[in-house]
């Protein structure tokens, strides 16, 4: 299909929740191809439909390394059904060019979704691997949540955003997750 324009942080539709996909039609399959084309063109690890201005619950991920063959994964109507553990890791986002900050994520997740042909599947990603973090990151986009909403240090993140001429963190959007925070604190004890 084609490479689409990626919305940048500050554009309103990145904060809007996405609609369920009722049928994996040709239109949805074309959207998946646009997401893949755009993600690869931008050297990304993941891309969610809202990032190209389409508010459907669809995202793609490919965590293959430079020397590995491409391994695109498609998630339609994803739901994270299990999560445990905690990790802090640096994240960035194609909608935030060159801006990276430390965020809190679950270490282990299980997700159920439909593939590009509308078939259901369940996938597990463990040990804080890139796949586990990418699925959480892209899934958040479908609810209008951005990676900076999980930042470890709001003021440091504001500084990074300012350096990249991006709007500051929206304090009322910061995610409160007592389970995750407790898990991280117990690791520091």
Strand pairing category for 87-93 and 96-105: antiparallel
Q: Which of 130, 147, 133, 123 is nearest to 65 (CA)?
A: 130
Half-sphere exposure at residue 179, Cβ-oriented, CA atoms within 13 angstroms: 6
Per annotation, catalytic residue among 138, 156, 163, 170 = 138
User: Quick check: is 138 catalytic?
Assistant: yes
Q: Which helix (H) or strand (E) holds 113?
A: strand 108-114
- Pairs from 66-72 (Cβ < 8 Å, separation ≥ 24): 70/40, 72/36
φ/ψ bin of 157: left (φ > 0), alpha (ψ from -120 to 50), beta (otherwise): alpha
Catalytic residues: 138
């Amino acid at each position: 299909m084609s490479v689409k324009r990626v919305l940048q942080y500050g554009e309103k539709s990145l904060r809007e929740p996405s609609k369920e996909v009722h049928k994996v039609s040709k239109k949805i399959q074309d959207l998946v191809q646009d997401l893949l084309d755009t993600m690869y063109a931008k050297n990304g690890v993941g891309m969610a439909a809202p990032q190209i201005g389409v508010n459907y619950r669809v995202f793609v991920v490919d965590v293959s390394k430079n020397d590995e063959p491409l391994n695109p994964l498609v998630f339609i109507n994803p739901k994270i059904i299990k999560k445990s553990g905690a990790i802090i890791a640096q994240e960035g986002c194609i909608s935030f060019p060159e801006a990276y900050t430390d965020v809190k994520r679950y270490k282990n997740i299980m997700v159920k979704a439909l593939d590009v042909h509308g078939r259901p599947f369940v996938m597990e990603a463990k040990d804080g691997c890139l796949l586990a973090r990418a699925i959480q990151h892209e899934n958040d986009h479908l609810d209008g949540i951005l990676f900076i909403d999980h930042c470890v240090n709001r003021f440091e993140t504001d500084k990074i955003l300012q350096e990249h001429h991006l709007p500051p963190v929206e304090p009322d959007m910061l995610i409160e997750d007592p389970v995750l925070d407790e898990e991280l604190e117990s690791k520091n004890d």
